[in-house]
Structure 1
Amino acid sequence: MSKLHATAFTVTALATVYIGSILAQTSSSGLKAGDSAVVVSDTAPALIGNEIIAQLKKGEHVRVVEVRESWAGVEFNAGGQTRTGWVEQKHLQKTSVATPPPVPAPTTPTSPLPEKSGEWTQWRGPNRDGKSPDVGLLKTWPQGGPPQGWRATGIGVGYSSVAVSNGTVYISGDIGDSLMLTALDTMGKKKWQVRHGPSWNTNPAGSRGSPVVDSGRVYLLSAQGLLNCYDAPTGAGVWQVDLKRDFGGVQEQWGYSESPLIYGNLLIVTPGGRNCIVALNKATGQPVWGSTGLADTAHHASAIAVEFQGLPMIVQMLKGGMVAADARNGRFLWRCARAVGGAACASPVYSNGYCFGATGYNNGGACVRLQAVGGTVQAQPLWETKDMICHHGGYVIHDGYIYGNHLEGWSCLELGTGRVMWNARGVGKGSLCFADGMLYTFSERGGQVGLVQATPQGFQQTGQFAVSGQGQSWAYPVVIGGRLYLRYGDNLYCYDVRGADFKS
């Protein structure tokens, strides 16, 4: 067990997470998330795991962001930067109830944003690996975070991330009894909004899949399995298929959460069941192939395209593990069943002949090495880990290391061996995006956002701030065109993260 999880209060919290409960944000002392407090003891140690990261002094003011039993997770100022740590509540006294940080009216710019918004046309970016092509971005953030460009509301509630293309930002959300697809301009003003189908009201309620943009079309899959194609400039419907009705789809209880994959002229999606993975003509929605030799229940991850020694594959996370099918015809190629169970929400990742996938609920992850044998591809199990138990937030590979969500924090593993380089709490359990050597981490609770160096040498956070919203935030952050997009409930925020040498 890492230092991060050694304290009793964290172990209790993890047990709560495993059974699906939401941690209470109040305590017997009256402190709750959002309160302002002052240190009343001569000194108050601030901890991450068993490590003391700061000694807070009497009279120092803090902001409470989370409460667990006798401990309070607090924000405090250290050397001009906002940091977070755990402090025993006996050292604190509430001073007032803090109001949420002020935000500008929707679509009101507070900083001059770059003219071009960049192209982030699909789930997890241009290469579907969670990595932005932007360079020349800020390496540290000022106290309070980078400049905010705008905030838009009225997109509905849910967990969809944005797709950005041709000066338009696309996102989905539930409004009342309808799942809505919304298009905004680069300043956050609504261009159009259309009804996709019924909303998802089963806990947790809210939209799931993120839109995908290609060749003047927008594609979106609903939790119920409705896959629609729209005209990108206008939102007019083009075609629709129903994964359950048309393909006999079999899905887990929390609904489809996939973002479809565009692969050449094909759209790849995962109904589950006997037609586990299917390829459609992206222009018409007509079936081209269905996977053979593969029958499994669809979970919540989105597929990726991999080419290994000239052999194209579709790699996906299913109930039975990480699998691959031939991208040309859907023929089953290989399966890694080492890390399965619970809910497979995060997409697999690939780099230099290695595929890695991880799930939550104490299952962990596994890595395979690909081998080309007799005109096909096989997967050799390489290593397994319990140091990347990833519920929702995903992981990225950079320079031979995997960075990702692990339980209530973050881990770095060596890709070739699975060796643990570090574990840290940071902003807590959440999702991430990589850009210009940095990890943009976004907590699922309290709107906390952290900037972390992508280095195996140790966890080094260089900025932190918070956005307002309600409930849990499972939407991944997106960095493109010098902009950081953060979705929290019905709020979509856009921040300017350009440095002096910015290039997109």
Structure 2
Amino acid sequence: MTKYFIPLFLFLLSCSSSQPEIYEWRGADRSGIYPDTDLLTLWPEEGPKELWTVESLGRGYGSPQFTEDQFYITGEVDSMALLYCFNLDGTKLWQTTLGREWVTSFPGSRSSPTIVDDLIYIGTGMGDLYCVNRADGNLVWSKKFTEDFQGVYPLHGHSEAAVISGDRVFWTPGGPEYNVVGLNRMTGELVWSNPGFGERSGYNPGKLVVHKGHELFVTFTAAKLLGLDVETGDLLWSHHQDVYTEEEREKIGIGDSHANSVIYRDGSIYYAAGDGNGGVRLDLSENGTEITQAWRNPGFDSFFGGVVLIDNHLYTSGTHSQYIYSIDASTGILTDSLKIGQGALIAADQMLYYYNQRGQMILLSYIEGKMKEVSSFKITKGTRHHFSHPVIHNG
């Protein structure tokens, strides 16, 4: 069996920060930027001190989700999806079996939990959505991907991180009728559904965008970025990915992998879609019902490595190359690139943290978009692809 492990390293000397009410994929606002301070600016040759390791979680690619005193992570064992809860010294508090997990192409769990108050929302590679109690993992409600929503699977199973707004949770089954849905997050009851363009989902985690008092749920399906009103489910706008013809897209797995959360700042949405248009900036109208493309950079081509926006520069990993890129957020013009392999990117304390698919953890400095490798070490545990996004929590 493939071992799925979590190393915890001592990244900082001291930390003090308040925890948000919602704990979600890639930190606050799904930005990939963590609030921790006083982190190490140079690592020992062997890497930061390892405090503990958790093994025997089964197969999976999802990142852990930390709260103030615990963390939660998924895994697949014997074709079943499991959710685990640990305290911060790596001691297991409970585990619960959710249902069937994806076991064909890239078998294993995919998603990171979303936590609000005493409830956890977690999806599986089979597209099923579960709400469980945070205290003990007991099931509150669940929705089945195919039975409830007639969902359509992408080539590598479903991957999404539930988005919350008020009393609603949003999910993207794909397919002709329930393409995107808004559910009552306490009961799982359907509040609204939108047929979108009838496409399969695009492995996208989704994002809540709050623009001048208007709330939008923004997500990708196979060939479109969609912006929907969170209250009504109305489709406000879409942005087409035009690098493949409709005939080419009929083959599942072609042009439909858009796994990066979008970024919103000051009236603009930024995205990186390596299987689509590349890097794009879209400017929203005053009420958020229309978009205008400001620029497009096809070379900013991350599939699922994550994007961070720091000052006036966007950073991400390339997919068709082995580079990490920075581009000017105002113009989309390339500022810098470093050849350090495909990987996943986060940021904290004025440094970039890059976990490449060969298992190297790399620390990078940056000044106005110019990057420099500072330190690195090798993750030697695990037996499969290094796809998970790293997380920083209290060092």
Q: TM-score, normalised by structure 1?
A: 0.70
Structure 2 equivalent of residue 275 of structure 1? 178
Amino acid at match of 1:192: W
Is 1:172–2:74 an aligned residue pair? Answer: yes
Query: Residue 305 of structure 1 aligns to which amino acid in structure 2?
Result: L
Partner SS for 2:392: strand
The reply to whether residue 348 of structure 1 matches residue 262 of structure 2 is: yes
Which residue identity does 1:284 align to in structure 2?
A: T
Report the TM-score, using the length of structure 2 for normalisation: 0.88
How far apart, in 2, do the equivalents of 1:475 and 1:333 lie?
32
Question: Partners of 1:109 and 1:123 in 2: how far apart?
Answer: 20
1:236-247 map, 5 Å: 236-247=138-149
**C-alpha distance in 2 between matches for 1:107 and 1:358:** 28
Structure 2 match to 1:136: 38
Tell which deviates more after alignment, 239-248 or 453-462.
Answer: 453-462
Corresponding residue number in structure 1 for 2:331: 417
Alignment match of 1:439 (pick from 331, 343, 352): 352
The Cα offsets for residues 244-273 of structure 1, whole Å up to 9 and x where unpaired, read as 211222231211110101111111111112
Q: 1:471 aligned to 2:384?
A: yes
Aligned CA-pair RMSD? 2.4
Change (3 A) 1:114 1:176: farther
The 1:247–1:108 alpha-carbon spacing in structure 2 relative to 1, beyond 3 Å, is closer
| Whole-angstrom distance in 1 between the partners of 2:194 and 2:339 | 40
Which structure has the bigger radius of gyration?
1
Counterpart of 1:391? 303
Confirm whether residue 201 of structure 1 aligns to residue 103 of structure 2. Answer: yes
Whole-angstrom CA distance in 2 between matches of 1:385 and 1:243: 35
Aligned residues: 374
Q: Give the corresponding residue for 1:486.
A: none
Q: 1:109 & 1:457 partners in 2: Cα distance?
A: 27
Name the amino acid aligned to 1:314.
Answer: F
Distance, in Å, in 1 between the alignment partners of 2:348 and 2:11 is 21
Q: Comparing both structures, which one devotes a greater share of its residues to strand?
A: 1
Runs of 5+ in structure 2 lacking a partner? 244-254
Which amino acid counterpart does residue 475 of structure 1 have in structure 2? S
The separation in 1 between residues aligned to 2:223 and 2:300, in whole angstroms, is: 18
- Alignment check: 8 A CA contact 1:339 1:357 kept: no
Match for residue 360 of structure 1? 274
1:310 corresponds, among 213, 237, 242, to: 213
**Contact 2:13/2:39 (8 A) holds in 1:** no
Question: Distance in 1 between the 2:166 and 2:312 partners?
Answer: 28
Matching residue's letter, 2:347: F
Aligned partners of 2:274 and 2:83: how far apart in 1? 29
Query: Do structure 1's residue 127 and structure 2's residue 127 form an aligned pair?
Result: no
Tell me the amino acid that sits aligned with residue 298 of structure 1: S
Aligned-residue offset at 1:455: 3.0
Q: Which one of the candidate residues 160, 169, 181 is aligned to 1:258? A: 160
Q: Cα 1:371–1:117, aligned 2, differ >3 Å: closer, same or farther?
A: closer
Percent identity over paired residues: 29
- Find out whether 1:288 has 2:191 as its counterpart: yes
Q: CA deviation at 1:240?
A: 0.8
Aligned ranges for residues 451-462 of structure 1 at < 5 Å? 451-462=363-374
Residue 120 of structure 2 corresponds to 218
User: 1:387 deviation in Å?
Assistant: 2.1
